[in-house]
Amino acid sequence: MSLILPHLNAALNTSCTLLLIAGWFAIRQKQVDKHRICMGSAFACSVLFLISYLVRFYLTGTHPYPGEGWDRTIYLIILGTHTPLAAFVPILAICTIRLAMKGNFAAHRKWAKITLPIWLYVSVTGVLIYYMLYHYAAIGI
């Protein structure tokens, strides 16, 4: 089971990224229902990711980057920015969603302008970290 979890995590992060982008485009086109579905689905993907990640971490612990040199430096920079921002995404997402659910759309838009880029960054860098840790390093680049 622990062998599939990193791949599941990457798939959930990829799905979240695509849903966030689709939700952004939907609201730009004033498709509120589509926006709501996309953003709710992105949040669900993030929740499932967190559960899957915690299970994988419990089963296998940390996975140090096996490479050396410039690629390790890039990996550590990405990881170093990803990790602290990832800790804030649940708080930002919940606050942003709550504002929309309460009908406070002016505040929702203000929060979303902060939440969306951070959430997208965390989602995309999560996939990059997966790729570098499980594929990139394995092929010896």
pLDDT tens-digit series, residues 65-89: 888 889 899 999 999 999 999 999 9
DSSP 48-82: HHHHHHHHHHHHH--------THHHHHHHHHHHHH
Return the pLDDT at 67: 80
pLDDT tens-digit series, residues 122-131: 999 999 999 9
Distance separating alpha carbons of residues 57 and 86, to the nearest angstrom: 15
Distance separating alpha carbons of residues 87 and 141, to the nearest angstrom: 30
Return the pLDDT at 69: 87
Of 24, 81, 18, 5, the closest CA to residue 45 belongs to 18
Mean pLDDT in residue range 114-136: 93
pLDDT tens-digit series, residues 15-68: 999 999 999 999 999 999 999 999 999 999 999 999 999 999 999 998 888 888
Q: Tokens in use for 107?
A: 């505040």
What pTM value is reported for the model? 0.91
As a whole-number percent, the residues of the chain with pLDDT over 90 amount to 83
Question: Lowest-pLDDT range, 50-54, 109-113, 137-141?
Answer: 137-141
Q: Looking at beta carbons, which pairs linking 75-78 to residues 24 or more positions away fall under 8 Å?
A: 75/129, 75/132, 75/133, 78/125, 78/128, 78/129, 78/132
82 CA to centre of own chain: 9
Q: Average model confidence (pLDDT) for the chain?
A: 93
Distance separating alpha carbons of residues 41 and 20, to the nearest angstrom: 9
Q: pLDDT at residue 4 above 60?
A: yes
Q: pLDDT at residue 140 above 60?
A: no
Q: How far is CA 91 from CA 3, 60, 64, 79, in A?
A: 30, 27, 27, 20
Return the pLDDT at 141: 47
Q: Tokens in use for 33?
A: 């229902």
Return the pLDDT at 1: 60
